[in-house]
Amino acid sequence: MSNSNIAPFVKWAGGKRQLLPQIKEKMPEKYNHYYEPFVGGGAVVFELLPANALINDINKALINAYKQIRYAPEAFLKVIHKFDSEIWEDGKQYYYSLREHYNDKLMKAEYDAELAALFVFINKHCFNGLYRVNGKGLFNVPYNNSRRPSVDENVILDISAYLQKITILEGDFEIACTDAKKGDFVFIDSPYAPLNPSSFESYTKEGFDIESHRRLARLYDELTARGCYCMLTNHNTDLINELYGKKGYTIDVIDVKRLINSNGSKRVGKEVIICNY
C-alpha cells in the first residue's frame, strides 16, 4: 500500500523517522505478515503500510488513541478541534488545565475519544513531545509554548482507514508475537537500553528494565528459530552488544540525532540496527 498523506499523529521519544531510509534498505525483500510489538508513534508502520499487520504497545493511553482514531475518527476530531479552538488567554494555564483533566481521566480509566484527544493535544503541546509519567502513572511533562493545531483532519481520516485493516493490541511484547511464523517480519523498536545505569526513561509506569531487555533478547532468539525475519533498533550500548553481539546477527551502527536532550550539544549519538537475516 501507499498513501503519502499518512504520517504519525504523535511525536514519540525514540521514533524512527530519521532511520527510515536505513530500515527500508535493510528490510527483507518479501515477507508475509508484519509485526510491530512496540509501535510507539508508528513511524515505520505508517511508512510501509503493510496489508497484513499487527501493531502493539503496552501504553494504554497510546493504544486507546490508535483505537479511537480507528473506530471513531469523527468523535476524536470533534473533541480535539474543540480543544484547539478554545480561546487561550493564558496558554500555559490552559495546557496545565487540560493535562490535569487528562490525568484525572487516566486515574478513572476513562479510555474514550476525549482521552485520546487529550493525549494527542498534550503530546503536541508539551516539551519536545516527550511522553513521561511519574511513579503514579500520571503525565508530568511541561508546556512547550506552542499554539499550533494538534492534527490535520485529512491525515487522521486516512490513518483511520488504514488502521481498520490491521490488528491493534495493547499488552506485553511477547504476547504480541505469539502467532509470528516463518516468513513473517518482526520490527522491534523497544524502549532504549540505558546509556548509563541511571538513565532509564519511564514511558509507562511499568517501565522497561534490564531484565525486560534480556527477555526481549530471548524472544528475538526464539523468533529467529521460528524462521521469522527480525530487525531490532536500539542504542549502541554494552548491554545491547552483550545480548545480541555473539549470536551471528548482523549489527550495523548508525549515527543519529537525539531529539529530546535538553542540551543541544548532546543531541547526537549512535544506534544499532540488528538483523537476523
What is the mean pLDDT of the segment spanning 42-71? Answer: 97
In a domain, 156, yes or no: no
- Give the torsion through C-alpha atoms of 166, 170, 173, 176, to 10 deg: -40
Q: Which residue has the higher pLDDT, 233 or 206?
A: 233
pLDDT at 198: 53
- Of 164, 161, 151, whose CA–CA distance to 8 is shortest? 151
pLDDT of residue 129: 82
Torsion angle, alpha carbons of 1, 38, 165, 124, to 10: -80
Mean pLDDT of the chain: 91
Which is higher by pLDDT, 128 or 142?
142
The pLDDT value given to residue 106: 95
Query: pLDDT of 123-137, one tens digit each?
Result: 999 998 888 888 888
Whether residues 260 and 214 fall in one domain: yes
**Domains held by the chain: number:** 2
What whole-number distance in Å separates Cα of residue 224 and Cα of residue 181? Answer: 10
Angstrom CA distances, 233 to 191, 202, 250, 254, stand at 9, 18, 12, 10
Print the domain residue range for 219: 17-58+171-275
Domain boundary among 114, 147, 180: 147
Strand pairing partners for 103? none
Query: Does the pLDDT value for residue 100 go beyond 60?
Result: yes
Q: Are residues 199 and 270 in the same domain?
A: yes
Of 86, 115, 147, the domain-final residue = 147
Percent with pLDDT over 90 in the chain: 76
Same domain, 199 and 116: no
CATH number for the domain harbouring residue 185: 3.40.50.150
- pLDDT number for residue 202: 47
249, part of any domain: yes
* pTM to 2 decimal places: 0.91
Kindly tell me if the per-residue pLDDT of 247 is higher than 70: yes
pLDDT of residue 217: 98
Task: Indicate whether 198 and 271 sit together in one domain.
Answer: yes
Lowest mean pLDDT among 30-44, 216-230, 256-270: 256-270
In a domain, 262, yes or no: yes
Res. 82 pLDDT band, cuts 50 70 90:
very high
DSSP 59-107: -HHHHHHHHHHHH-HHHHHHHHHHHHHS--SSHHHHHHHHHHHHHHHHH
Three-state DSSP at 262 gives: coil
Quickly count: other Cβ atoms within 10 Å of residue 204's Cβ.
Answer: 17
Please indicate, yes or no, if residue 154 is contained in any of the structural domains. no
C-alpha grid cell, residue 269: 549519538
Q: Which three cell numbers stand for residue 12?
A: 514519540
- 8 domain residue, yes or no: no
Residue, of 179 and 256, whose pLDDT is higher: 179
